[in-house]
Amino acid sequence: MSKAIDDVAAERKRQIEKEGWSLKHDDGHSDQSLAMAAALYAAPEPLYKVNVMGMVHAINPWPWTNFDKREKFDRRKSLVVAGALIIAEIERLDRAAKDQG
């Protein structure tokens, strides 16, 4: 298993053991707020902007201009893809840090 996957597994264990976020607690989030929190943690910038008048505007952070694959997956597959992309980004950061010495 890669270091990124080990780190994610260790964080999940910490969430359960140290923060007390049990499986029963997670089951109470049927509003998909856990997925939203994951997306917000993963986003490289806020997913909204506040204008000078204090109005909040959502932005579309999809990184590729003309093809959004998210629409063709069911919810579970979308989350598996999201998890894999998060692992890919963690591993990319690890490689970049290693290359910088």
pLDDT one-digit tens code per residue, 83-98: 887 988 888 888 889 8
Contacts of 78 (CB under 8 A, 6+ apart): 70
- Exposed e or buried b per residue across 69-90, where buried means at least 16 C-beta atoms within 10 angstroms of its C-beta: eeeeeeeeeeeeebeeebeeeb
pLDDT (tens digit per residue) in 8-66: 999 999 999 999 999 899 999 888 888 888 887 887 777 777 888 888 887 776 666 65
Confidence at residue 1, expressed as pLDDT on a 0 to 100 scale:
66
- Looking at residue 41, its pLDDT comes to 81
In-domain check, residue 36: yes
Q: Tell me if 87 is assigned to some domain.
A: yes
CA atoms within 13 A on the CB side of 88: 6
Report if residue 40 sits inside a domain: yes
Residue 21 lies in a domain: no
Q: 47 in a domain, yes or no?
A: yes
Whole-angstrom Cα distance, residue 53 to residue 73?
38
pTM of the model: 0.65
Q: Is residue 14 part of a domain?
A: no
Instruction: Establish if 67 belongs to a structural domain.
Output: yes
By residue range, what is the domain housing residue 52?
31-99
- Cα separation, 82 vs 34, whole angstroms: 13
Q: How many domains is the chain partitioned into structurally?
A: 1
SS3 60: coil
Question: Does residue 73 form part of some domain?
Answer: yes
